[in-house]
Amino acid sequence: MKKITFLLLLISLEAVSQNIFRCNNDPSVPVSATLKRTLQEAHDIASDGDIIYVEPSFGGTTYGSLNMTKTLTIIGNGYDHSINPGSSQNWDTRASVVGAVNINGTTGGGSVFMGLTFNGATISVKVPNVTIRRCKSFNIYFYREAGKNASGANVLENHIANVYAYGYSDYALNCYTAYPIENITIKNNINLWFTSNTLSSGCSSSILTIPSCSNIVISNNVYYVGANINYCMNCTITNNIFRTVPVAGIIGVLGTGSVIGNNVCGTNPCVQGSNNVNSAIDNQIFVASNPFSNDKDFALKAASPAIGAGIGGVDAGVFSTSTPYVLSGLAPIPQITSYSFNSSAGVYTTSTPMTITLSIKGNN
């Protein structure tokens, strides 16, 4: 059965033809030239453009931290499969648990992380065009400093924690406005796992205070707690659901060129932008209300004020747009949902082949 399961894994990854390396920390699985115990070991034998498949963690053991210097795609098994039956996968419900990831040199730009569980660990990024998609429970730090620039990042469809963006200034000003982080997209994320969800620059402790940033897209997210969004230049802030807000208003003073509107706001109203829905509460918006237990609780209930509230009549929140949130963080690769084979012959040869029937779906 183990051989068949591994065969199915190889078939499911065949659509991506780069070199594939595996991480597996089950002691019963032998290490090989293409299978390593830790994420760092797999990284070190890979080359730019390769793929690392981080298999479900044995006993919840982490695959360790990673100091990254190569452009790689790293794919995990997703998360919370046991609480999303029917929407998830059934082969192995364990998460692929990893530690801190540091991309702090000058190489590794363009890397992609999908389907990983960080358990609150930190992702530190100083290179451009990094994508973090369908992952869970992490803190992201984007930096720009002399010779290094984390602009162009994509934070998509995650069950997320905190997001920080730090620019810098030649004059050591608190607000780091001389060299801003630019062109970051934050879309279709559920900000639930921790109690704050922050994109800040050191100027203020307010959530989503981003004076060091410009050309930021923040759309179709659900924010677990709220605070002020201030001083973002040329930012687009639309179609979000801002939940319970401990301060008066959510969207404060913005920089020039920003577009804001069509957000659904909780206890206190959004004071900036047009076509916002104000004073909406959880049990009016979602199929479940606080305390939430998992990501599917943030689906919109019938007659929710978030339905059709977004720009162009799309729904606000995470399950809308062309890149909706995907339950359990399943990576957008072919997934085998079931298989069957004829075992009546007992022994199979080239003249008596085994017939295997597979059912496969995509997770785009």
Q: How confident is the model at residue 123, as a pLDDT?
A: 94
- Res 242: pLDDT: 83
pLDDT greater than 60 at residue 360: yes
Secondary-structure percent of the chain, ordered helix, strand, coil, rounded to 5: 10, 30, 60
How do residues 210-226 score in pLDDT, each as one tens digit?
A: 445 667 788 998 886 55
Amino acid at position 100, single letter: A
Alpha helices in the chain (DSSP H): 2-12, 39-45, 282-285
pLDDT score, position 231: 58
pLDDT at 289: 80
User: What's the pLDDT at 262?
Assistant: 94
In whole angstroms, what is the distance from residue 13 CA to residue 126 CA? 30
Query: To the nearest whole number, what is the mean pLDDT of the chain?
Result: 80
Q: When comparing pLDDT for 58 and 206, which is higher? A: 58
Cβ proximity of 151 and 144 under 8 Å: yes
Closest CA to 162 of 103, 225, 95: 225
**Does the pLDDT at position 30 exceed 80?**
yes
Mean pLDDT confidence for 292-301 = 88
Q: Is the pLDDT of residue 70 over 90?
A: yes
Is the pLDDT confidence value at 170 over 60?
Answer: no
Amino acid letter, 339? Y
**Distance from CA of residue 257 to its chain's centroid?**
27
High-pLDDT (> 70) share of the chain, %? 75
What is the structure's pLDDT at 1? Answer: 45
Confidence band, pLDDT 50/70/90 cuts, at residue 173: very low
Adjacent-strand bridge partners of 274: 261
**DSSP string covering 146-199, please?**
TTEE--S-EEES-EE-EEEEE-B-TT--TT--SB-EE--EEES-EE-SSS----
Q: What is the pLDDT of residue 49?
A: 97
Residues 213 and 234: their CA atoms lie apart, in Å, by 9
Share of the chain above pLDDT 90, in %: 40
φ/ψ of 21, rounded to 5, equals -120, 155
Judged against a pLDDT cut of 70, whether residue 118 lies above it is answered with yes
Burial of 249 (0-12, 13-18, 19+ CB in 10 A): middle
Encoding tokens for residue 259? 């577009």
